[in-house]
A and B are shown apart, each in its own frame.
Chain A
Amino acid sequence: MSTKVVMEALSPTMEEGRLVEWKKQEGDAVAVGDVLAEVETDKAVMELVARAGGTLLKQVVQAGTTVPVSELVAVIGEPGEKVEAPVGRGDGQAAPAKKPAPKAEAAEEPPAPPGGPAAAGNGPPAAAPRPAAAPAASRSAGRVKASPLARRMAAERGIDISAVAGSGPEGRVVARDVEGSRPAVAGAAAAVRAPAVRGPAGQPYQDVPLTQIRKTIARRLAQSIGPIPTFYLTTEVDMERAREAREALLEAGGEKVSLNDIVIKAVAMALRQHPVCNAWWQDDHIRYWNEVHVSMAVAMEEGLITPVIRHTDLKSLREIAAESRDLAGRARERKLAPEEYTGGTFSVSNLGMLDIDEFTAVINPPEAGIVAVGRMAERPVVHEGAVAIRRRMRLTMSCDHRMIDGATGARFLQTLKGMLENPLAMVY
């Protein structure tokens, strides 16, 4: 009896995954829990583990292939067991995600439980949803599954159907997916993509396929810059005392606290005073958070991710420093669990280390705001009636105007500035 291994939904938003590398080869013995392969999801590289023991009889897909969730990727069974022709979809043994059991025809529908009313129809439908007929024959790499109506609509509207995420069975693009799609999405995706690769001389351009994370970034950022009415507030902060505080902490030893950690802590404490900025846009309502979870943008070799420091306001600088270092490190290795990069209530992004004086950051929806941190630099300023050289840093807050008004955002920023200029205010 063989067991089919399918692409599992390894993150809450995952619709497909790229099989990066096989960790078990055909013929290898496999125990329950063994890592079969590494899979790149829309956020991280994660492990696909065996749900059944035996021998890896067949790798159905090659490394590098992108596979929709629930699609067959491998078969585990007894050594020497004959593998049936792959049918493209697991039989439900291996996948933990909810998934309809394939059914050939109506005759195999499970009978309704006895005891119900004769005319029935009152209870929930007895029959499980039925996937489309096994598409083994028509399956070919690169083919987009779409309903005929969705194809016609996409053609009429000039939408590239391969750019539309399908919500139907096995990722089928259906009418509602095309309805929610705009030709502009493709343009936005192109704008965010800026491959840092230089092609061979004489070649005018190089086409780089979109990775999972790049697709996600494009979708999320386009979603942000489009419907979110954003405005920006900038202030310059005197960082002398924050720097002194940091140096004093460093002298005391222990976890090394960075300036960014101090900013994160200050943001969290300021949010406590301005809960209106600690909110989520929920389409028909606003969710004001009582807890403060600050997301911090972390650049990865490819893309970015925003791990979350939970209950930021309740943690000491030392704790924040330790946690941010750990999260950033594992983010760069793409080892974060989904719950570690979701659920933030406000974000901080810092490009100061890259010599950026100031910038505007894109809001991480559904959050209400994000603070963009520029570099700390010595600047001539008027201090106590005389020109002096002081360490200064610019903060720019992006605000979702649906939740934060100009003065509201300004007051938050004022509090934040006050805390950084007088770090004792954070513990007051």
Chain B
Amino acid sequence: MAIVTYRDALNHALREEMERDPDVFLMGEEVGVYQGAYKVSRGLLEEFGSMRVVDTPITELGFAGVGVGAAMVGLRPVIEFMTWNFALLAIDQLVNSAAKMRYMSGGQVGVPAVFRGPGGSALQLASQHSQAFESYYAHIPGLKVVMPATPADAKGLLKSAIRDDDPVVFIEGEMLYNTRGEVPEGEHVVPLGQADVKRSGGDVTIVCHSKTVSLALKAAEDLAGEGIEAEIVDLRTIRPLDTETVLNSVARTHRCVVAEEGWPFAGIGAQVVDTIQHEVFDELDAPVLRVTGADVPMPYNKHLERAAKVDAGKIVAAVNEVLYRERDE
């Protein structure tokens, strides 16, 4: 298998899907001439031309609406937001148009569009540019929300998202673009709605997605040194949620920690915990704990920023707690 960056894996998925299906086109700020703010669309303008790789003005609501309209008449747009922070300006199109069109047209009109771009915090981009918005979109019936953590999943899930007949919110990890990993050669498609066990273990389940997957794996390494085997469940798709994989794991380990980058209140973890406590209550040996970003606007100060973010140490601490392990204070 080839070792590919997350960025290039996305690029390959776009290229392959645009080659496969002439209805697929890419639109957004700086996607063409500049080849993408994060260089995900490198080479695509040259290869597919300006009819299929469209640079837009700085008008998120406008080009998101154009994307919805194009999808309604049969095209398969991939709308790039430079980041999901900017997509707040376009959320009306996603929530009120894309998500509801199939329902309100009585099934006559679907919106097979992908809205993609980086989410979450990077480093010292301050409060307005360091936000994890997956719970905003996962809240909406009619939207699918996908968040790959690895290059292979990035490629395979983006291809599935483009082929899906409903609107997909595809949130990439800004800090993941440079990460490398093996990606299967040739056609590689990962179905939506399937979580992935990134590491097996019998002592505790750590549910995570996107950036927290690597943190959970790091935590699992540390815990393994103490004889604790953690099972890492990468949700990959937030909605529809693969409850079966999560529940099967928790039913075996009896203890669970849910990690996410975003804020705690009404976060993704809240939904996961609700499902667990409802479906496998009698399997639980401890309350399910959540590890989240701090419930504050992201500080700019780098020390405070670090304190506000999830890290492997916080995940380890939560695991120790659900395992009732004694620790020095």
Residues of A in contact with B (beta carbons under 8 Å apart) = 98, 100, 105-107, 109, 111-112, 114-116, 118-130, 132-133, 147-152, 167-169, 174-176
Closest to B296 in A: A107
For B285, what are the chain A residues with a Cβ–Cβ distance below 8 Å? 147-150, 174-175
B281 in contact (CB, < 8 A): yes
A-B contact pairs, 20 of them (CB 8 A): A106-B295, A109-B314, A111-B303, A112-B306, A112-B314, A115-B303, A116-B306, A119-B215, A119-B312, A121-B219, A121-B313, A122-B313, A124-B313, A124-B327, A129-B320, A130-B321, A133-B287, A149-B285, A174-B285, A175-B285
Report the Cα distance A130→B318, complex, angstroms. Answer: 9
Q: What residues on A are CB-neighbors of B222 within 8 Å?
A: 121
Given contacts A106-B290, A111-B308, A124-B327, contact A149 B313 (CB under 8 A): no
With a cutoff of 8 Å between Cβ atoms, the chain A residues found around residue B294 in the complex are: 106-107, 109, 111
Nearest Cβ on chain A to B286's Cβ, whole angstroms = 6
CB proximity of A187 to chain B, nearest CB, Å: 26
Residues of A near B236 (CB, < 8 A) are none
Q: Is the CB of A125 within 8 A of B314?
A: yes
CA of A132 to CA of B322, assembled, Å: 10
In this complex, what residue of B is CB-closest to A111?
Answer: B307
List 6 extra interface pairs beyond A112-B306, A119-B312, CB under 8 A: A118-B306, A125-B314, A127-B314, A129-B329, A132-B287, A150-B285
Q: Flag if B284 contacts A148 (CB, 8 Å).
A: yes
- Least Cβ–Cβ distance between B82 and chain A, in angstroms: 25
- B89 at the binding interface (Cβ < 8 Å): no
Residues of A within 8 A of B274 (CB): none
Interface contact A106-B321, CB-CB below 8 Å? no
Report the nearest A residue to B311, measured CB to CB: A120
Whole-angstrom CA separation of A118 from B308 in the bound complex: 12
What is the bound-complex CA distance between A125 and B311, given in angstroms?
10
Please state if A148 and B313 are interface contacts (CB–CB under 8 Å).
Answer: no
A120, B219: Cα distance in complex, Å: 10
B91 to chain A, nearest CB (A): 25
How far is A153 from B300 in the complex, measured between Cα atoms in Å? Answer: 49
- Name the residue on B nearest A127 (C-beta): B317
Whether B313 and A107, one on each chain, are in contact in the complex, defined by CB atoms closer than 8 angstroms, is no
- In the complex, B146 has a CB within 8 A of chain A: no
Contacts of A148 in B (CB 8 A): 281-285
Nearest B residue to A146 by beta-carbon distance? B285
Across the interface, name the chain B residue whose C-beta is closest to A149. Answer: B285
The smallest C-beta distance from A394 to any residue of chain B, in angstroms, reads 46
Distance in angstroms between the alpha carbons of A93 and B294 in the assembled complex: 26
Is the pair A98, B313 in contact by a Cβ cutoff of 8 Å? no
For B281, the chain A residues whose CB sits under 8 A away are: 148
Tell me if B5 counts as interface (CB < 8 A to partner A).
no
Q: Which residues of B contact A175 (CB under 8 A)?
A: 254, 285
Given contacts A116-B306, A121-B215, contact A149 B283 (CB under 8 A): yes
Chain A residues closer than 8 Å to B291, beta-carbon distance: 106
Which chain A residue has the least Cβ–Cβ distance from B314?
Answer: A127
How distant is B126 from chain A, measured CB to nearest CB, in Å? 17
- Is residue B240 within 8 Å, beta carbon to beta carbon, of the partner chain? no
Interface string of B24-65 (1 = CB under 8 A from A): 000000000000000000000000000000000000000000
Q: Are A147's CB and B286's CB within 8 A?
A: yes
- Taken together as a complex, chains A and B put the C-alpha atoms of A132 and B315 apart, in Å, by 17
Nearest-neighbour CB distance to chain A for B266, whole angstroms, equals 12
A residues near B327, Cβ cutoff 8 Å = 124-125, 129
- The one of A98, A107, A114, A147 that contacts B295, using a Cβ cutoff of 8 Å: A107
B316 at the interface (CB under 8 A from A): yes
Chain A residue nearest in CB terms to B221: A121
Report how far A107 CA is from B329 CA in the complex, Å.
19
Specify which of B284, B290, B304, B308 lies most central, judged by the most chain A CB atoms within 10 Å of its CB: B284
Q: Are A125 and B264 in contact (CB under 8 A)?
A: no
In whole angstroms, what is the CA distance A149 to B215 when docked? 28
Within 8 A of A (CB), among B269-296: 281-287, 289-292, 294-296
Nearest 6 interchain pairs by C-beta: A121-B312, A111-B307, A125-B317, A107-B295, A120-B311, A114-B303
Enumerate chain A residues within 8 angstroms of B314, measured Cβ to Cβ: 109, 112, 120, 125-127
Assess A128 versus B329: contact at CB under 8 Å? Given A119-B312, A122-B313.
yes
What residue in chain A is nearest B284 (Cβ atoms)?
A148
How long is the Cα–Cα vector from A151 to B289 in the complex, in angstroms?
Answer: 20
Which B250-276 residues have a C-beta within 8 angstroms of A?
Answer: 254, 264
Name A118's closest neighbour in chain B (CB-CB). B306
Q: Closest residue of chain B to A101, judged by CB?
A: B329
Nearest residue in B to A131 (C-beta to C-beta)? B321
CB distance from A108 to the nearest CB of B (A): 9
User: Which one of A125, A169, A176 contacts B313 once the chains associate, using CB atoms below 8 Å?
Assistant: A125
Please state if A167 and B218 are interface contacts (CB–CB under 8 Å).
no
Q: Please tell me if the beta carbons of A174 and B312 are within 8 angstroms of each other in the complex.
A: no
Contact B218 A168 (CB under 8 A): no
Any A CB within 8 A of the CB of B328: yes
Please tell me if the beta carbons of B321 and A120 are within 8 angstroms of each other in the complex: no
Find out whether the CB atom of B311 lies under 8 angstroms from the CB atom of A105: no
Check A125–B295 contact: CB distance below 8 A: no
CA distance A127 to B259 in the complex (A): 15
* Bound CA–CA A133/B273 (angstroms): 15
A411 to B324, CA, bound (A): 47
Q: Is the CB of B264 within 8 A of A107?
A: yes
Chain B residue nearest to A132 (CB atoms) is B287
- Tell me the nearest residue of chain B to A126, going by C-beta: B313
Cα-based distance from A207 to B281 in the complex (angstroms): 35
Q: How far does the alpha carbon of A127 sit from the alpha carbon of B307 in the complex, in Å?
A: 11
* A100, A114, A118, A125: residue with the most chain B Cβ atoms closer than 10 Å: A125
A106-B292, A123-B313, A147-B286 are known contacts. Are A168 and B306 too (CB-CB below 8 A)? no
Residue of A nearest to B293 (CB): A106
A106–B258 alpha-carbon span in the complex (Å): 12
Do residues B306 and A105 form an inter-chain contact, with CB atoms below 8 A?
no
Quote the shortest CB–CB distance from B54 to chain A (angstroms). Answer: 38
* Chain B contacts for A109, CB-based, 8 A: 294, 314
CB atoms of B286 and A119 under 8 A apart: no
B296 contacts A149, C-beta separation under 8 Å: no
**CA–CA, A238 and B142, complex, Å:** 95
Q: Which residues of A contact B307 (CB under 8 A)?
A: 111-112, 114
- Least CB separation from B321: chain A residue: A129
Complex formed: what's the CA distance from A168 to B304 in Å? 33
Give complex CA distance A109, B314 in Å: 10
Which of A105, A129, A169 has the most chain B CB within a 10 Å cutoff? Answer: A129
CA distance A112 to B281 in the complex (A): 33
Q: Which residues from B are CB-within-8-Å of A120?
A: 306, 311-314
